[in-house]
Structure 1
Amino acid sequence: MLIHPLITTTDELTALCERLATAPFITVDTEFMRENSYWPDLCLVQVASSEEAAPIDPKSPDLDLTPLLNLLVNNENILKVFHAGGQDIEIIFNLTGSTPHPLFDTQIAAMALGLGEQVGYQNLVESLLGKHLDKGARFTDWGRRPLDARQIDYAIGDVTHLATLFPKMLDRLRRTGRGAWLDQEMERLADPTNYLNDPSESWKRVKIASKKPDVLGRLKALAAWREIEARSKNLPRGRIMKDETLADIAMHPPVNQEALARVRGLSPAWKGNDIGTRLMDALAAAQPLSPAEMPARDERGPALGKEGALVADLLKLLLKIRARESNVAARLVARSEELEQLAAGKRNGLAILQGWRFEEFGRDALDLVEGRLAFAVRRGKLVMTRTEEQDA
């Protein structure tokens, strides 16, 4: 494979993208810094086809990323391949308002091939290619210029190995008949709504003990206020206010701005500065959540109860057995919350009762819940058996 030196001009990038536009697939990775900013600071982009690879410097004053971004989001003829690509896709979405499509994520594919849940790139390369990766440059300062040879070598390896991995994984998926399993997962990953960051929805990420409408209304107002502050200053949310402090203020709102000086996690200066004033304005404008906005019980639907919890445990055991038999990651087949919803009596809208998941697991799960399937021990081994009622 031809590996180009660091691309620093728009003309070089345009020529590369014209060549890549004829490839059936390209592999993509990014290096970015986010520790000190709200928005990820894109520092390097790496792309490869089966024939060539190149690192691209988005910080170069002589380079415009538009040719690459057009290739990623507007060219439907090329499959874009990532590994654990959520953050890379988020960056592309932030720059363009669109996501790469069609796309393929090798971490998700590894789950369908029984290679583990959320398998790391290094482990995947070692497992399928027998190569050991030097990850020593992973936590270097990607924003500093010039980038050294070790950094670039490390970064380019993430797409060159991926270009070799992908065809091997695709072949395995075809031989096992599991390629169709991933279509829905890849479409979900490419869904732009995953990467929208609506301030009015940000409260849902904050853990809080109370479920009272007035408390959650204050949490919603405070979380939206923090999101807007963080964006405007390009600072991480936690630099504005940590989640724990946000939740504490929502549950125990200060009577006035001076009382902010006594809130754990805030500087005494908040009692008289502008940001403290804006916080108090957000609190004053907060309204209790409407019934329609209130979260469902534990976000999981009907209450389980003691018996339901036992049934959910049995479903989790069944999932482990079926996943082991099929050599697929259990997490790809079903999530714990779905099993609990099934145990609680929910039937409509569950992914495990649709498509390939129903064939692989859902049918047996439903039979177990409804008494047509049971666990038994035979010759010291745990097996599933049909009940007499079903046999009759």
Structure 2
Amino acid sequence: MHVHPLITDSATLANLCTRLARADFVCIDTEFMRESTYWPELCLIQIADVNEAAAIDPMAPGLDLAPLLELMVANEDVLKVFHAGGQDLEIIYNLTGTTPHPLFDTQVAAMALGQGEQIGYSNLVDSWLGIQIDKGARFTDWSRRPLDARQIEYAIGDVTHLAKIFPRMLERLRKTGRGAWLDHEMERLGDPLNYANDPDLAWKRVRISGRKPDVLGRLKAIARWRELEARGKDLPRGRIVKDETLADLAGHPPKKQADLAKVRGLSATWAHNDIGGRLMAAIEAAKPLDADELPPREDRKPGLGKEGALVADLLKLLLKIRARDIDVAPRLLARSDELELLAAGQRDGLSMLDGWRFDQFGRDALDLVEGRLGFAVKGGKLKMTRTEDA
């Protein structure tokens, strides 16, 4: 594979993208910094197909990224391959307003091949290629220039290894017939709504006890305020106000701006400055949360009850057994909240009761809750055993 020198000019990048646009797939990775900003600061882009690889410097003066972004989001003929690509997709979404399509994530695919739910990149490379990655450059400040040859080599390795792993992974998925298992997961990962950062939903990231509509309504209002402040100043949310302070303000709202001086976690200057005034305006304008927005009770799922909770535990045990038997990550078959809904009597809208998931797990899960399946110990191993239909 030919590895190019660091690309810093628009003509070289455009020529590279013209060639890559004819590839069946490209592997992409990014390096970024986000410790001191709201928006991730894109510092390096690595890309490869089976023939060539390059690192691109998005911080280079005058570099036009348009051909690369067009390849990412407009070219439907080239499959875009990532590993644990959530943050890479977020960066592309921030630049374009959408996400790459079609896409493939090797971490997600590894779930269908029995490599666990969140296999790390180093372990993936070791298991497929027998290569131990030098992790010495992991903590590089990628925003500093110039980058040395060792840093660039380390970064490009993330896509050159992936370009060798992906065809092998694809072939194994074809042989096992599990490629179709991943379609829904890849579509879900690539949904642009995952990366939109809606300020009206920012409150859901903040841990707070209780379900009082007035408290949660204030939390929604001030979390939205914080999100907009952080965006406008390009600062991390926690630099504006920390989560625990937001929760405290929502639960114990100050009556007037002067009271902000008494709030732990806020500067005393907020008692009379502009940002304190905007915070008070958000608190005063807050309305109680609508009933349909209230989070579910944490102590008990609606309709589950004590007996249903025991059934849900049996379903989780069944899931572990079935996942072990077919060598797949349990989360790919079913999620815990779905098991609880099934135990509570729900049948509609559960992914485990549809398609390949029904064949591999859902049928057994349904038989268990309806009395046609039980457990037995045979030869020291826990097995599923059929009972006569009622």
Query: TM-score scaled by structure 1?
Result: 0.97
SS of the residue aligned with 1:292? helix
Give 1:261-340 correspondences, 5 Å limit: 261-298=261-298, 302-340=302-340
Give 1:80-99 correspondences, 5 Å limit: 80-99=80-99
Larger deviation: 290-299 or 361-370? 290-299
Specify the alignment match of 2:229 in structure 1.
229
Give the drift of 1:355.
Answer: 1.0
Q: In structure 1, how many angstroms separate the alpha carbons of the residues matched to 2:117 and 2:370? A: 29
Q: Can you list the C-alpha shifts for 1:74-131, whole angstroms capped at 9, x where unaligned?
A: 0000000000001101100100111100000000000000011110010000001000
Give 1:195-214 correspondences, 5 Å limit: 195-214=195-214
* Runs of at least 5 residues in structure 1 that lack an aligned partner in the other structure: none
Root-mean-square deviation over aligned CA pairs:
1.3
Q: In structure 2, how many angstroms separate the alpha carbons of the residues matched to 1:222 and 1:38? A: 17
Specify the alignment match of 2:31 in structure 1.
31
Q: In structure 2, how many angstroms separate the alpha carbons of the residues matched to 1:356 and 1:266? A: 53
Q: In structure 2, how many angstroms separate the alpha carbons of the residues matched to 1:198 and 1:379? A: 54
Q: Can you list the C-alpha shifts for 1:280-304, whole angstroms capped at 9, x where unaligned?
A: 1000000001223223334996242
Specify the alignment match of 2:179 in structure 1.
179
Q: In structure 2, how many angstroms separate the alpha carbons of the residues matched to 1:142 and 1:113? A: 33
SS of the residue aligned with 2:114? coil
Q: In structure 2, how many angstroms separate the alpha carbons of the residues matched to 1:177 and 1:58? A: 40
Specify the alignment match of 1:243 in structure 2.
243
The aligned amino acid for 1:341 is: L
SS of the residue aligned with 1:358? helix
Give the drift of 1:380.
Answer: 3.0
Query: Is the CA contact 1:32–1:42 (under 8 Å) kept in the aligned structure 2?
Result: yes
The aligned amino acid for 2:93 is: F
Q: Within the alignment, does 1:380 sit opposite 2:380 as a pair?
A: yes
The aligned amino acid for 1:204 is: K
How many pairs were matched up?
Answer: 390
Q: In structure 1, how many angstroms separate the alpha carbons of the residues matched to 2:347 and 2:297? A: 17
Q: Within the alignment, does 1:163 sit opposite 2:167 as a pair?
A: no
Q: In structure 2, how many angstroms separate the alpha carbons of the residues matched to 1:207 and 1:77? A: 42
Specify the alignment match of 2:19 in structure 1.
19
Larger deviation: 327-336 or 52-61? 327-336
Specify the alignment match of 1:116 in structure 2.
116
Query: Is the CA contact 1:27–1:163 (under 8 Å) kept in the aligned structure 2?
Result: yes
Specify the alignment match of 2:128 in structure 1.
128
Q: In structure 1, how many angstroms separate the alpha carbons of the residues matched to 2:317 and 2:113? A: 20
Q: In structure 1, how many angstroms separate the alpha carbons of the residues matched to 2:301 and 2:39? A: 34
Larger deviation: 110-119 or 290-299? 290-299
The aligned amino acid for 1:141 is: D
Specify the alignment match of 1:192 in structure 2.
192
Specify the alignment match of 1:365 in structure 2.
365
Structure-2 change in CA distance of 1:113 and 1:60 (3 Å): same
Q: In structure 2, how many angstroms separate the alpha carbons of the residues matched to 1:35 and 1:303? A: 43
SS of the residue aligned with 1:297? coil
* Runs of at least 5 residues in structure 2 that lack an aligned partner in the other structure: none
The aligned amino acid for 1:278 is: R
The aligned amino acid for 1:203 is: W
Q: In structure 1, how many angstroms separate the alpha carbons of the residues matched to 2:348 and 2:240? A: 41
Structure-2 change in CA distance of 1:126 and 1:235 (3 Å): same
Query: Is the CA contact 1:300–1:337 (under 8 Å) kept in the aligned structure 2?
Result: no
Q: Can you list the C-alpha shifts for 1:317-345, whole angstroms capped at 9, x where unaligned?
A: 11010000000011111111111111122
SS of the residue aligned with 2:293? coil
Query: Is the CA contact 1:351–1:357 (under 8 Å) kept in the aligned structure 2?
Result: yes
Give 1:69-84 correspondences, 5 Å limit: 69-84=69-84
Q: In structure 2, how many angstroms separate the alpha carbons of the residues matched to 1:76 and 1:300? A: 45
Query: Is the CA contact 1:47–1:54 (under 8 Å) kept in the aligned structure 2?
Result: yes
Q: In structure 2, how many angstroms separate the alpha carbons of the residues matched to 1:117 and 1:222? A: 35
Structure-2 change in CA distance of 1:299 and 1:110 (3 Å): farther
Q: In structure 2, how many angstroms separate the alpha carbons of the residues matched to 1:319 and 1:240? A: 43
The aligned amino acid for 1:41 is: E
Structure-2 change in CA distance of 1:298 and 1:348 (3 Å): farther
Query: Is the CA contact 1:376–1:383 (under 8 Å) kept in the aligned structure 2?
Result: yes
Specify the alignment match of 2:9 in structure 1.
9
SS of the residue aligned with 2:346? coil
The aligned amino acid for 2:232 is: S
Query: Is the CA contact 1:315–1:339 (under 8 Å) kept in the aligned structure 2?
Result: yes
Query: Is the CA contact 1:259–1:271 (under 8 Å) kept in the aligned structure 2?
Result: yes
Q: Can you list the C-alpha shifts for 1:29-60, whole angstroms capped at 9, x where unaligned?
A: 00000000000000000000100000000000
